[in-house]
Amino acid sequence: MMEIDPVPNGNANAETDGTTATSAAIAPPPARSSRLSQLTESLKLEHQLLRVPFEHYKKMIRAKHRAFEKEVSSVVSGVGDLTDSDWSKDDTVLHLTSLVSRLQGLKRKLEEGNNAENLQAQRCRARIDHLDSADAENFSEWNNTKLKRILVDYMLRMSYFDTATKLTESSNIQDLVDIDIFQEAKKVIDALENKEVAPALAWCADNKSRLKKSKSKFEFQLRLQEFIELVRADSADSYKHAIQYARKYLAPWGSTHMKELQHVVATLAFRSNTECIKYKSLFEPKQWDFLVLQFKQEFCKLYGMTLEPLLNIYLQAGLSALKTPFCYEEDCTKEDPLSQESFRNLALPLPYSKQHHSKLVCYISRELMDTENPPQVLPNGYVYSTKALKEMAEKNGGKITCPRTGYVCNYSDLVKAFIS
């Protein structure tokens, strides 16, 4: 913590990096080295920008590989059938024609897959070029593009697709955002909100290996919910179907999730109208909300996205960097964003900024006040740097005018402040 002595009325209006107080000063425009440092730190947060199209690219390659293996295996098997059986000439020609048609269909699918892969490869290239183009000269423009990307990311997560699309097109950043990925997710989310699990189960099947690798329980939770819906129907046929469903789809999970499995299967005895809280909660609508939330988390993990929108992360980081105990005091300077009640409420759950050192910046010259350029206190309590006040006195015949209050005094009336 920093102290300034002496100060006539306690109004030491000099700016620190967050541990004391003022309306005093705005830091000087960053130098080239400072901008390069900011740029380097900014690039460290761009993991998601490159990871998403790369993961989508890998997913397409895997899907194309599976389709190719399946079709080729089927065609080879079909040719083997011809050699092992006594087919007529016409039947053989018909069968071979069918196999050729399948191969032609496979060729079309592979070409479509190649086009989709090229699109993702183009996005990867565009994003690498975008990051590579950042330098100190165009830092402001590059940051403006980054802000638009962050806003689009937030809109897509909140399902504002039309607005996100318009901002993307007007800013020409189509290759830097992931509208198609989020549209894929929205189909599953809409279905779950309508109490349908089929699209979510299809998504799990498409990403089975990745979900298994991450030890995801999402598919199991979907199966449990389908079982619960069968029990909810409350009829002899529905109970029969529920038992058959449990044997087919839930039993394979018994080795790893037996406790949860037993809990849910017990609803066959307790029924949907039970008053037992332990089982009644399984029939509540909030279970579908839980599935939506779980899908969003699995979706983000699958593509290497942050679980929180980027906008939230940057806002929290910024507010936390500004937050100090002084921000909540009555005499907090109005130039501090956290002097506003709305910002204070947003920053309330966030940790205080970790400040190792404090510094004073002169309101007039925007230069650092230290032992080489010590602070001077005016009789009205405002603090400015010695260098700035000397220059002002030389130009005005030894007179000092406070730039914030208009107070006029002699240079000899100033009192030196000491930083400790």
Encoding tokens for residue 319? 């507010």
Question: Closest Cα partner for 375 from 367, 391, 386, 364?
Answer: 386
SS3 229: helix
Mean pLDDT of 98-110: 84
10 pLDDT exceeds 60?
A: no
Predicted confidence (pLDDT) per residue in 227-239, tens digit? 999 999 888 888 9
> Do residues 322 and 314 make contact, with C-beta atoms less than 8 angstroms apart?
no
Return the H-helix or E-strand segment holding 414: none
Question: Closest Cα partner for 8 from 369, 380, 400?
Answer: 380
pLDDT of residue 339: 86
- The residue type of 191 is A
Mean pLDDT of 251-273: 91
Question: Closest Cα partner for 15 from 364, 316, 257, 329?
Answer: 364
157 pLDDT exceeds 60?
A: yes
Of the chain, the percentage scoring pLDDT greater than 70 comes to 88
Return the H-helix or E-strand segment holding 231: helix 218-232
Predicted confidence (pLDDT) per residue in 213-224, tens digit? 889 999 999 999
The values of phi and psi at residue 291, to 5°, are -65, -40
Give dist(CA 341, CA 309) in Å, integer.
Answer: 24
Radius of gyration of the chain, Cα coordinates, nearest whole angstrom: 33
**Cα dist from 262 to 163, 251, 257, 320, whole Å:** 46, 10, 9, 45
Name the β-bridge partners of 400.
Answer: 409
Task: Indicate the CATH number for domain 360-419.
Answer: 3.30.40.10
pLDDT of residue 27: 41
Q: What is the pTM of this model?
A: 0.68
Residue with tokens 């130009």: 395
Return the H-helix or E-strand segment holding 297: helix 286-303
Give dist(CA 283, CA 277) in Å, integer.
Answer: 10
**Cα dist from 126 to 41, 119, 120, 133, 172, whole Å:** 21, 10, 10, 10, 12
Name the β-bridge partners of 371.
Answer: none
Mean pLDDT of 239-265: 92
Q: Which of 38-42, 57-61, 97-101, 200-204 bottoms out in mean pLDDT, i.e. has the lowest? A: 38-42
pLDDT of residue 202: 94
Q: Where would I find the beta strands (DSSP E) of 161-228?
A: none
Give dist(CA 332, CA 22) in Å, integer.
Answer: 7
Give dist(CA 372, CA 370) in Å, integer.
Answer: 5
Q: Categorize the per-residue pLDDT at 195 as very low, low, confident or very high, splitting at 50, 70 and 90.
A: very high
Mean pLDDT of 310-315: 91
